Amino acid sequence: MNGTTIVTLQPRGQITLPQKYRDYLELDGGAILKVSLRGRGMFVEPLVEPADSNIIEPTLSKEEYLKVLRSISVHIKKHGPLWTKADDKRRAESLKKEKEKWKKLNW
């Protein structure tokens, strides 16, 4: 859809998007919009596509998913937690070294 429409800025800084634009973009009340400046103008676009396009079909059935969760639970009981305090310590040390490296590069 091309073209322009003139709208009036309300006292509290609000505008009403024309119905034909909302219909075209499939926007309902509560839609989240991204507003950005372009030179001396403003660009408004939906933050996400219409809800139907964001639906991800599951690859596992409920029973298969529960089976995976049970196997993880069995693994943890047999071998201990998947992430330990020692892992946290190693990660913190690694992050510290990484920060020092970037500091030397003046980033």
Q: Alpha-carbon distance 54 to 48, whole Å?
A: 8
The pLDDT tens digits for 4-30 are: 889 999 999 999 999 999 998 888 888
First-residue to last-residue Cα distance in the chain? 44
CATH code matching the domain that covers 1-55, chosen among 2.60.40, 2.20.28, 2.10.260, 3.40.50? 2.10.260
Q: Do residues 16 and 23 make contact, with C-beta atoms less than 8 angstroms apart?
A: no
Q: What is the pLDDT of residue 49?
A: 59
List CB contacts of 42: < 8 A, sequence separation 6 or more: 35, 36
The pLDDT tens digits for 23-72 are: 988 888 888 898 999 999 999 888 875 555 667 788 999 999 999 999 99
Numbered ranges of CATH 2.10.260 in the chain: 1-55
